[in-house]
Chains A and B, each alone.
Chain A
Amino acid sequence: MTDRLLDLLQRKGLLLGDGAMGTMLQRAGLTDGGSPELWNVDHADAVRAIYQGYADAGSDIITTNTFGGTRYRLKLHHLQGRVFELNQAGAALAREVAGDERLVAGSMGPTGELMEPLGPLTIAEAAAAFAEQVAGLAAGGADFLLVETMSSLDEVQAAVEGARQASTLPVVVTMTFDTNYRTMMGVTPAQAVQTLHSWGVTVIGANCGNGPAEIERIMWEMAQARPEGAVLMAQSNAGLPRWHEGEISYDGTPEVMAGYAQRMRALGVQVIGACCGSTPEHLAAMRRALDGPPLMGYEPAFAADASAPQSAPAGDGAARRAARRAQRTAE
């Protein structure tokens, strides 16, 4: 199977991802906490319009509206029996809009369940759920699978296994480093890029979490640790959410996101997109920035400042607890 993603990367050198789906659907009227994936069938026009917005803004990749498309997430909406249908529909709509020049990324978010031993889910069960989702995405015409917003490496492993059980599509993985530059589960950017690469994942990165400033730091850490052959990807939120006059809005302007895109390129990130709060206007600004000349003399402030807080090297929890205990005894 040809890897359309790597082909296009080779041809273009740099790809522009797309932007938010969830916050765009909210704008389009999904405010009752209902299932975004159901809109692939019940409000196909609204979903298509969002895809089209990103295509028109110059995105090279259209990401499917299937983030919560595993049976575990759909179960919250009593839709667990429609996994294949909803994923296929989301991918098919994206395929229509993407045509031949753009790629369709089949979005796969976390199951929302905790993995053993913290929670009930085994890797095999999670892999089966992801495989079921992937079957739909592949049938709908996805070019590659985008496992995103992950916080647990066990769950990523399950997603990669599930993807490989159900298709031959390439798998891209981005994790969310929202807790002091680590994922919620304590994974560092360096650990992520190295571990995922050892599992045969080529395109690896970060998405969601906090704002572009945090992503910059995270991608810098990943770039430092990047194994030969790994390709980096970043999809930042458009700033941070603010509750303002009865509505949630994100504080990152298109200009802010254009600057972010420039800095990602300077760090050597090759797939650059956006996440929550972004709109086609943000992506258009990023497109213009990336079509223009690269930043000259970019040097992230924290690279020079050795004392800047960097993710602590991955240690085991026991060591941290022992340190904490020793400190407390000393007090």
Chain B
Amino acid sequence: MDTDSFDSLPEVLQELYINMQDDLYDGLKDEVADATTEALEQWGQTPGQILQRGLVAGMDIVGQDFRDGILFVPEVLLAAKAMKGAMEILRPLLTDAKDVQRQGTVVIGTVKGDIHDIGKNLVGMMLEGAGFEVINLGINVDAEQFLAALREYNADILGMSALLTTTMPYMRTVIQRLNEEGMREQTVVLVGGAPLTEAFAEDIGADRYCEDAAVAVEAAKVFMEMKKRDS
């Protein structure tokens, strides 16, 4: 979060955001949605600002406390649901928001055999917030589904998630299929999920391992710039 600009906001608005973060932390879906609407309508905040100052900042605290063992999965899930509710309000506005540039198209999914989707959905929402069009294929996605979606949406980036040591090797299979179909060149491949490492990503021939959603957004932007320069 850009703290300088946060501190210069009117105090009442700062409070609105802090409450939004707290409510997100508590998984209060309706309250978070209401605060989102209020920030939009009464304070003229842009979707990008609300996303950064309220939702992402709140999710950061949730993530920290989850890692520290203060929160457990039930709480994280409720917070993610609350964020999703707010995203549903913001999504239609993001498309024409001034502060969000159209970036590119991302196909994202959790690989075959794996049903973990909290992290992947967060990454998807953050990419949307940053101006990407995100095609979220859900969980248990096989290579052919990834390929079909990349073609259908003429996507720039493929994002794959795996949280299990038993499913992460499947990413290699997907990349091999991209190679076979001659699609690897034009597709940037980002991979993520807790058990992955940089070395693993390199080994399977991905472009980048992203340890969290912020890194994923940065990486996606950088690759889009490179892509635009190249063409």
Chain A residue with minimal CB distance to B75?
A317
Nearest opposing residue in chain B for A327, CB measure? B70
The one of A114, A119, A317 in contact with B71, judged by C-beta atoms closer than 8 angstroms, is: A317
Contacts of A31 in B (CB 8 A): 169
Number of A residues, CB within 8 Å of B: 31
**A-contact bits for B190-231, CB 8 A (1 contact / 0 none):** 000001010110010000000000000000000000000000
- B65→A324 contact, CB < 8 A: yes
Q: Determine the distance from Cα of A183 to Cα of B72 in the docked complex, in whole angstroms.
A: 8
Instruction: Chain A residues near B71: list those with CB within 8 A.
Output: 317, 320
B199 contact set on A, CB distance < 8 A: 243
From B65, B69, B112, residue with most partner A Cβ within 10 Å: B69
Question: Which residues of the other chain, A, contact B173 by a CB distance below 8 angstroms?
Answer: 32-33
- Decide if A293 is an interface residue (CB 8 Å cutoff): no
Knowing A33-B112, A33-B170, A325-B22, the reply to whether A118 touches B78 (Cβ < 8 A) is yes
Contact of B170 among A32, A151, A180, A183 (CB under 8 A): A32
Chain A positions 21 through 43: 1 when the CB is less than 8 Å from some CB of chain B, otherwise 0: 01100100001111000000000
Is A179 a contact of B165 with CB atoms below 8 Å? Answer: no
Which residues on the B side are within 8 Å of A241 (C-beta)? 165, 195
Q: Who on chain B is nearest to A113 by CB?
A: B115
Asked whether any CB of chain B lies closer than 8 Å to the CB of A186, the reply is: yes
* A300 CB within 8 Å of chain B: no
| Interchain CB contact under 8 A, A112 and B115 | yes
B25 touches A182 (CB 8 A): no
Q: Is B126 an interface residue (CB 8 A)?
A: no
Contact present for B166 and A22 (CB under 8 Å): yes
The range of chain B's interface size is 20 to 34
Cα A118 to Cα B79 with chains together (Å):
11
B25 to A185, Cβ gap below 8 A? Answer: no
Q: Provide the A168-204 mask, 1 if CB < 8 A to any CB of B, else 0.
A: 0000000000011011111000000000000000000
Given contacts A243-B199, A243-B200, A324 and B70 within 8 Å (CB-CB): yes
Contact of A324 with B72 in the complex, beta carbons under 8 Å: no
B75 pairs with A76, CB closer than 8 A: no
A11 contacts B by Cβ under 8 Å: no
A33-B112, A243-B200, A321-B25 known; A185 vs B72 contact (CB < 8 Å): yes
Q: Which of B22, B73, B169 contacts A185 (CB 8 A)?
A: B73
Contact B166 A324 (CB under 8 A): no
Q: Would A186 and B73 count as touching, CB distance under 8 A?
A: yes
Chain B contacts of A246 at CB under 8 A? 203
A6 in contact (CB, < 8 A): no
Q: Is A248 located at the chain interface by the 8 A CB criterion?
A: yes
CB pair B166–A26 under 8 Å, yes or no, is yes
**Docked CA distance A206–B173 (Å):** 34
* Cβ contact of A179, chosen from B26, B61, B72, B114, cutoff 8 A: B72
Q: Is B113 an interface residue (CB 8 A)?
A: yes
Question: Contact: B69 with A180, CB < 8 Å?
Answer: yes
Q: A76-B115, A241-B165 are in contact. Are A114 and B77 (CB under 8 A)?
A: yes
Complex Cα distance, B170 from A184, in Å, reads: 25
Q: Determine the residue in chain B with the shortest Cβ distance to A244.
A: B199
Contacts of A114 in B (CB 8 A): 77
Chain A residues with Cβ under 8 A from B113's Cβ?
33-34, 76
Give chain B nearest CB distance to A103 CB in angstroms: 26
**Contact assessment for B200 and A118 in the assembled complex, using a CB-CB cutoff below 8 Å:** no
A321 CA / B22 CA spacing, docked (Å): 9
**A-B contacts, 16 listed (Cβ < 8 Å):** A32-B170, A32-B173, A33-B170, A76-B113, A76-B115, A112-B115, A118-B78, A151-B73, A182-B72, A183-B72, A184-B73, A185-B73, A276-B165, A317-B74, A324-B25, A324-B70
Residues in chain B within 8 A of chain A (CB atoms): 22, 25-26, 61, 65, 68-75, 77-78, 111-115, 140, 142, 165-167, 169-170, 173, 195, 197, 199-200, 203
Can you name 14 extra interface pairs (CB under 8 A) apart from A22-B166, A76-B113, A320-B70?
A31-B169, A32-B173, A33-B111, A33-B166, A33-B167, A76-B112, A76-B115, A114-B77, A118-B74, A182-B72, A185-B74, A186-B72, A324-B65, A325-B22
For the complex of A and B, 6 pairs with smallest distance between CB atoms: A180-B69, A186-B72, A33-B113, A33-B112, A33-B170, A184-B73
